[in-house]
Amino acid sequence: MKSAIITIAGISSRFNEGVAESEARHKIIYYESDPTDSLLYHLLIKCGSYDRVILVGGSRYEAVEEYCSQLPADLRNRISLVYNDHYSDLASGYSLYLGLKHLFDENPVNDIDEVLFVEGDLDIDRASFNRVVESDGDVLTYSHEPIYSNKAVVLYRDGEGRYRYAFNSEHGLLHIEEPFSVILNSGQMWKFKTSDKLKAANEKFYSEDKGGTNLKIIQNYIDLCDNDAFELIGLDRWTNCNTREDYHKILSYWEEEDI
């Protein structure tokens, strides 16, 4: 079985900045005329080869439920909705934890062939997304954008050949206090092929640092794997939808791709 996890628990504060509360929307399901012009719809289409898609929501959860209920049956029937009741007081790691917990609670570990994880406020070009989906192994992704310490998640390989992440949650300067052989701008999309190690990484997160970001779970998994287990895949286009201006930019990309 192949499963995808999409985390969508955020409050969309920048997306609704300057907008009346009556017009505020969850950015994952936002559209202006066509319901298929949403981030969620496009992610579901790109995850079409996955047996299950687990959506972990929080803010405006009922609106997400309502949107999903109106989807075509072939999409709607593959979705499992999970509510994160700590979306406002814990970091992004807890959403990924809940998604993985739901997956492992519902399915024997040996039945899970792979897990794709992508953050729900991202739009990734179709060709790059497909390269990740079609890869035979574990995948770490990177974008081709410059690395700015105030917004980038850094992926680097240390002197022992192990991949590591660096991120400043306060959006200040980054410090990497060890030698490294490569440094990249993380693409925030991953694929995991060893389900027992992923389950162990998830349980370690809950017992040791459940207030951390999703990078804690991912790093736990990396540390359980061989150094050379991962394929690095570059994303040709990677757009983070923070504002409605970002949404309109993404909309123009969709028109070009003719999805």
Residue 79 corresponds to which amino acid? I
Beta strands per DSSP E along the chain: 2-8, 52-57, 79-83, 114-119, 122-124, 138-143, 154-158, 163-166, 180-192, 230-235, 238-240
Query: According to the model, what pLDDT value does residue 258 have?
Result: 66
Higher pLDDT, 255 or 204: 204
| Over residues 147-172, mean pLDDT | 92
Query: According to the model, what pLDDT value does residue 24 have?
Result: 84
Query: According to the model, what pLDDT value does residue 32 have?
Result: 94
Mean pLDDT of the chain: 95
Q: Give the tens place of pLDDT for each residue, 48-79.
A: 999 999 999 999 999 999 999 999 999 999 99
Answer whether CATH 3.10.20.30 is correct for domain 2-257: no
Which residues neighbour 75 within 8 Å (Cβ) at sequence distance 6 or greater?
Answer: 41, 44, 45
**Cα–Cα distance, 201 to 195 (Å, whole number):** 10
- Spacing of C-alpha 174 from chain mean position: 22
**Cα–Cα distance, 207 to 217 (Å, whole number):** 11
Helix (H, G, I), strand (E, B) or coil at 104: helix
Using left for φ > 0, alpha for ψ between -120 and 50, and beta otherwise, residue 67 falls in alpha
Q: Give the tens place of pLDDT for each residue, 18-47.
A: 888 888 899 999 999 999 999 999 999 999
* Closest alpha carbon to 118 in 36, 56, 211, 205: 56
CA dihedral 99, 105, 106, 108 (to 10 degrees): 120
Q: How confident is the model at residue 216 (pLDDT cuts 50, 70, 90)?
A: very high
Q: Give the number of other CB atoms < 10 A from CB of residue 41.
A: 21
Query: According to the model, what pLDDT value does residue 21 have?
Result: 86
**Phi/psi at 157 (nearest 5 deg)?**
-115, 120
Q: What percent of the chain has pLDDT over 70?
A: 99
Q: Is the pLDDT of residue 94 over 90?
A: yes
Counting Cα atoms < 13 Å in the Cβ hemisphere of 255 gives 7
Q: Is the pLDDT of residue 228 over 90?
A: yes
Q: Give the tens place of pLDDT for each residue, 100-138.
A: 999 999 999 999 999 999 999 999 999 999 999 999 999
| Over residues 148-163, mean pLDDT | 94
Query: According to the model, what pLDDT value does residue 205 have?
Result: 98
Asked which of 3-7, 65-69, 149-153, 218-222 is least confident by mean pLDDT, the reply is: 149-153
Query: According to the model, what pLDDT value does residue 257 have?
Result: 82
Query: According to the model, what pLDDT value does residue 248 have?
Result: 96
Q: Is the pLDDT of residue 154 over 70?
A: yes
As given in the structure block, the two tokens for residue 19 are 């907008």
Residue 170 corresponds to which amino acid? E
Q: Give the tens place of pLDDT for each residue, 173-199.
A: 999 999 999 999 999 999 999 999 999
Which pTM was predicted?
A: 0.95
Q: What percent of the chain has pLDDT over 90?
A: 88
